[in-house]
């Protein structure tokens, strides 16, 4: 098989910071991230071989996790606690692969944008900013 179906991905939020107990965020329709980035430091010098650019890698940027949900205030407004908090909380993504691979990380809610069109469902887009080193492929 050449790939995996994305259906069934889960984003879970630690119920109480530091507890290790997680609860799934309901009604996710789309998830992306975390987008990882690495600073590139140009160390090219006048004696670089045949004028080829040379770089070293610097700071690792942890990126963001973005989700879209079928918005239900009763199931999603608890996330506003994270927006109001200055401290990141534990989250984890469980990928729908054969091993149910988890990625655990600390994050804070950076953006929440609900929408209520007159001819469609309630929806919301949420952006979580990851803080610190994610734990790829290991349980939180």
68-92 pLDDT per residue, tens: 999 999 999 889 999 999 999 999 9
Instruction: Report the pLDDT value the prediction gives residue 132, as an integer from 0 to 100.
Output: 94
Nearest to 122, CA basis, from 65, 66, 73: 73
Other C-beta atoms lying within 10 Å of the C-beta of residue 53: 9
Q: Where are the domains of the chain?
A: 10-136
Instruction: Report the pLDDT value the prediction gives residue 140, as an integer from 0 to 100.
Output: 46
117, pLDDT greater than 80 = yes
- Distance (Å, whole) CA 91 – CA 9: 13
Class of domain 10-136 (CATH, top level): few secondary structures
Residue 130: which residues within 8 A CB-CB, separation 6 or more? 33, 34, 62, 63, 64, 65, 105, 106, 107
Instruction: Report the pLDDT value the prediction gives residue 1, as an integer from 0 to 100.
Output: 54
């Amino acid at each position: 098989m050449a790939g995996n179906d994305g259906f069934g991905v889960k984003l879970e939020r630690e119920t109480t910071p530091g507890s290790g107990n997680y609860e799934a965020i309901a009604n996710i329709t789309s998830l992306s991230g975390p987008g990882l980035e690495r600073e590139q430091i140009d160390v090219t010098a006048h004696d670089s071989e045949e004028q080829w650019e040379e770089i070293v890698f610097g700071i690792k940027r942890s990126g963001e996790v973005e989700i879209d949900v079928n918005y239900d205030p009763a199931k999603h407004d608890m996330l506003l606690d994270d927006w109001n908090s200055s401290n990141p909380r534990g989250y984890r993504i469980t990928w729908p692969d054969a091993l149910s691979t988890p990625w655990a990380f600390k994050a804070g809610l950076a953006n929440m944008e609900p929408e209520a069109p007159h001819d469609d469902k309630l929806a919301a887009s949420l952006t979580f900013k990851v803080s610190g080193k994610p734990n790829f492929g290991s349980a939180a």
